[in-house]
Chains A and B, each alone.
Chain A
Amino acid sequence: MGQVIVVTSGKGGVGKTTTTANLGTALAQLGNKVVLLDADIGLRNLDVVMGLENRIVYDLVDVIEGNARLKQALIKDKRLDTLYLLAAAQTREKKDVKPQQMRELTEQLAREFDYVVLDCPAGIEDGFKNAIAGAQKAIIVCNPEVSSVRDADRVIGLWDAQPESKGPAMLIVNRVRPKMVARGDMLEIDDMLEMLAVDLLGIVPEDEHIIVSTNRGEPAVYHTESKAGKAYQNIARRLTGEQVPIMQLQDDESIWAKFKRIVGLSRG
């Protein structure tokens, strides 16, 4: 049986879809059989970010309602043979799907794939409940800002409060700007971890490559020069159980500073 992982956040715009696309791609690059499932019914995006929008014939609701077989609805990735997407329906609503149906669907997928990664909609209503229903693990995406941390806390509380016993929630701190952290203008990651009290799965820096790659429908993990892409690759390896140290987000300036300190030029 494969793992079913939901990527969620509560707050919108923190990078759930980007995380799902990059993590899924990175997991597939490592040789795993991966399916990405867009649970954001009515506001689908994952297909666009993956560059697979024009291949959608059947979607998640078609499968659940029995209009299509699962095999027909799974869209194979352009580049990787072991990566698939099940798109969300754009013309339907969240309430057209029930948590029990999602549970059955993810169970069925987990029998065939190593990883089933669900892209959860923002909010904590029906769409969220559907998305977490079948998941055993949760990845909480959070930006280093108070409103995002607050929503992450709310979502972790809801995850923990589920009646079934499930795996832990893990945190990805996304869109971190190293220079702002160095200046003390951003929330400290340690402070976020202290409050949220969950394991840190990874830190992803703010990266202009993400915008370019999103618009091109080509996840950043394909770009070797992208720091965010590198961070997602590390996260994927951690998910498979490998021990990978958290990437240091120091920019060139601080490496220079470190060098100066080592050779004794700096007073600090």
Chain B
Amino acid sequence: MRQDIVIRGTTRTGLVILLPDDLEFGVLIQRLREKLAQAGRFFQGAEATVQVGSRALSASDQDAIARILDEADMALRTVTKGGDPVAEAQAALKAAEQSRHSGTLPAAALLAESETAMVVTRTLRSGQSVRHQGDIIVLGDINPGAEVVASGHIVVMGALRGVAHAGCTGNTGAFVAAIKLRPTQLRIAHVIGRAPDEQDNLQTVPEVARVRDGMIVLETPTESKR
């Protein structure tokens, strides 16, 4: 996904205009002009802080930005380096939140950016949660009230009694497998399934949950081969 210019209102410092890193400056200037033109008179009279990310700007570049704002009847407050403070704060908050919930798990492991599998070698109890970009393998149980969220598959070498969300970024091909699959709720991509209210003919074999025809179905590992 290509990044675009973001204009955000703040209560104390007026508007903040965030310039993405991955655009060439000429194109960026053009984009900014178009964007402000599209807004018409909406931003008229506003003061703006321009954040330029990691980009190094020359004095003439800064002047160019000031001119564009001037054309839109806006005042340039400052030009600062650095990225989106809101996104950064959200990321920091998320990291803090997860390390708080995770108990003894190192926060770094939870937030690992890589697409490799993450291995959790303990039981997750009520209130604990693990999130990972990639697959998650749990050597232990997921108790009711605990949750596991992965962008890839989730494999539990134990009893899954809590909530599992596989393919959380939209991958409907993701699956959830467990030795004992008794989840409170299963989610795969945007599909949500829950255990039937009357628990009958419970399987005692390992099961795999997949999305078939828009619904979550449970199969044995052999049935589940595609």
Contact = CB atoms under 8 A, between A and B. Distances in A.
A156 interface: yes
Nearest to B143: A153
B103 A161 contact: yes
B127 A197 contact: no
A265 interface: no
Interface string A130-163: 0000000000000000000011011011101100
Contacts of A263: none
A141 to B, nearest CB: 16
Contacts, number: 34
A195 B158 CA distance: 11
Contacts of A153: 125-126, 143-145
A19 B218 CA distance: 44
B109 to A, nearest CB: 15
Given A150-B126, A154-B127, A157-B126, A195 B104 contact: no
Contacts of B161: 195
Interface string B142-169: 0111000000000000010100000000
Interface string B111-141: 0000000000001111110000000000001
Given A153-B143, A158-B103, 16 more contacts: A150-B126, A150-B144, A150-B145, A153-B126, A153-B144, A154-B145, A156-B125, A157-B103, A157-B124, A157-B126, A157-B127, A160-B104, A161-B103, A195-B143, A195-B161, A197-B141
Interface of A: 150-151, 153-154, 156-158, 160-161, 195, 197
Nearest to A151: B126
A interface SS class: helix
B199 to A, nearest CB: 13
10 contacts: A151-B126, A153-B125, A153-B145, A154-B145, A156-B125, A157-B103, A157-B128, A161-B104, A161-B128, A195-B159
B156 to A, nearest CB: 14
Task: With a 10 A CB-CB cut-off, give which of A157, A158, A160 has the most chain B CB atoms.
Answer: A157
State the 7 A-B residue pairs at the shortest beta-carbon distance, nearest first.
A161-B103, A157-B125, A154-B126, A153-B126, A153-B125, A154-B127, A153-B143
Interface in B17-52: none
A154 B127 CA distance: 6
A100 B143 CA distance: 31
Contacts of B125: 153-154, 156-157, 160
B128 A195 contact: no
Nearest to B122: A160
A197 to B, nearest CB: 6
